Amino acid sequence: MALTGPALTTAAPLQEAVPFRHPGADRGGQVELAGRRILVVRPDNVGDVVLLTPALRALRAAAPDARIELLASPAGAAVAPMIPELDGVLTASPSWQLLDAPANPTGAGALAAGEHDLLGRIAAGRYDVLLVFTSFSQSPWPVAHLGLLAGVPTRVVHSREFAGAVATHWVTPPPDTAHHVDRSLHLLWAIGVPDRGPHLALRVPRTAYAEADRLLDVALSDPGPVSETLHPADQDTTARYAGARRPQRFALLVPGASCPSRRYPAHRFGAAAAAVADTGLPVLVSGTAGETDLVTEVVRRAGSPAVRALPATELRVFAALVARAAVALTNNSGGLHIADAVGTPVAATYAGTERLGDVAPRSVPCELLQVPVGCSPCRQLTCPFHHECLDVAPARLASAALRLASPDLVRELPDDLPKEHRWPHGPNRARTA
């Protein structure tokens, strides 16, 4: 039976509904931060912590006498010594950051014990304020609830989901398309903290530069072209080369990433490295201890004596190596954000897992290379297709790196490098975004 009547008819075209905020959201207002003990929460990867540095800078400027500590993952905690705004780190691998739940009671019991331990550590910290920073797809409520149970009186989160009184300051987040830096600054703005600029920044210690220089002395031991102009990082008075000899210029290639979906193939990185080295700019390849095989494979694929592997080292020394480089070649990974933070130009193969605007560098010259695909942003850890978004010719990556390293000397490389192997699923559609 058809239903008719005034309630089911319209006199004008339907308009898009205006979303209303939940009546519990955006209450609380400005937070008193002076002299307080503040726990900042970001237990994610290295790059996520580097992307948080503008927010930490703003927070420190607003509360110079506060004690600011960071709840970080083991990987993220390695960044903390290079962030001068921090007074301490609480390292944890919390349940809400794990991909898989325990498969048996023993595992579940161990996970619960870990959460109870973290609760005790937060309580022992006697924090006054809990600031929970998240990406658009993450929930702040698990850690906010821990803060409630630990007795933290002020708990600030971004969310569109209702969770009662778990947070004292429930802030409606900006659009999901906001840059991660802007999202973090927005949370602080909502509680009365003005931003101090969106640029990333790390303070690399002198000892890290000294160790990096030692590694470079070995890796670049063969005679080579000497730079006539110093990279900005080389002008730092902490640099061992200041007032002595000028370091040889080099490109640093960082082939790793936190998940397979973000990794450009090793054979293509090798081809790009060989093309860069053929112009006279040596290429050093770096990775973590767990990426040793990947680094070795890139060097092998390059087949050039001017492409060499660096030994795995701690993060602060890696940051110094990035700072010393004329240009960095990376994936969308922590290396990309460290280059942005230390002032090194970067050419990145940028997978379609995220939008180009989500985490793009803002402080340094950069070129982000990808192929537009309909499945982006997929947010996947492993590509379910054929990685079409990274079907970028090595010649394009090499040319981008050379443009950034030596803008006055670069020549465009041909798209048909000998080491290039076209993928079987279709023609190369690489472009510079």
Q: Name the residue range of residue 46's domain.
A: 37-99+110-190
As a whole number, the mean pLDDT across the chain is: 84
- Indicate whether 2 pLDDT > 50: no
| Residues 144 and 259 grouped into a single domain | no
pTM of the predicted protein model: 0.84
**What Cα–Cα distance (Å) separates residue 39 from each residue in 36, 111, 128?**
10, 22, 8
Residue 178 located in a structural domain: yes
pLDDT in tens, 292-348: 999 999 999 999 999 999 999 999 999 999 999 999 999 989 999 999 999 999 999
Q: Which of 407, 404, 417, 432 is nearest to 278 (CA)?
A: 417
| Residues 260 and 135 grouped into a single domain | no
**What Cα–Cα distance (Å) separates residue 145 from each residue in 89, 127, 148, 151, 153?**
20, 14, 5, 10, 12
pLDDT in tens, 249-280: 999 999 987 777 778 999 999 999 999 999 99
Residue 317 located in a structural domain: yes
| Residues 73 and 138 grouped into a single domain | yes
Residue 164 located in a structural domain: yes
CB atoms within 10 A of CB 186: 17
Q: How confident is the model at residue 418 (pLDDT cuts 50, 70, 90)?
A: very low
Torsion sign over Cα 213, 214, 217, 220: negative
Q: What is the pLDDT of residue 205?
A: 96
- Indicate whether 426 pLDDT > 60: no
Q: What is the mean pLDDT of residues 182-195?
A: 96
Residue 292 located in a structural domain: yes
| Residues 175 and 212 grouped into a single domain | no
| Residues 253 and 363 grouped into a single domain | yes
Q: Which of 20-29, 179-188, 193-202, 366-375 has the lowest mean pLDDT?
A: 20-29
| Residues 145 and 212 grouped into a single domain | no
| Residues 226 and 180 grouped into a single domain | no
**Last residue of a domain, which of 142, 166, 190?**
190
Residue 12 located in a structural domain: no
Is 325 in contact with 251 (CB distance < 8 Å)?
yes
**Last residue of a domain, which of 190, 214, 239?**
190
| Residues 121 and 166 grouped into a single domain | yes
| Residues 328 and 229 grouped into a single domain | yes
**What Cα–Cα distance (Å) separates residue 334 from each residue in 177, 240, 255, 265, 328?**
20, 26, 11, 17, 12
pLDDT in tens, 55-95: 999 999 999 999 999 999 999 999 999 999 999 999 999 88
- Indicate whether 416 pLDDT > 50: no
The 283-285 sheet, strands edge to edge: 307-309, 283-285, 251-254, 327-331, 346-349, 366-370, 431-432
**Number of domains forming the structure of the chain:** 2
Q: What is the pLDDT of residue 122?
A: 97
**Last residue of a domain, which of 190, 225, 249?**
190
Q: Which residue has the higher pLDDT, 406 or 49?
A: 49
What CATH code is carried by the domain that includes residue 328? 3.40.50.2000
Residue 104 located in a structural domain: no
Q: What is the mean pLDDT of residues 39-65?
A: 97
| Residues 166 and 137 grouped into a single domain | yes
Q: Which of 109-113, 115-119, 405-409 has the lowest mean pLDDT?
A: 405-409
Residue 1 located in a structural domain: no
Residue 25 located in a structural domain: no
What is the percentage of the chain residues whose pLDDT exceeds 90? 64
CA dist., res. 82 & res. 183, Å (int): 22
| Residues 60 and 159 grouped into a single domain | yes
| Residues 168 and 246 grouped into a single domain | no
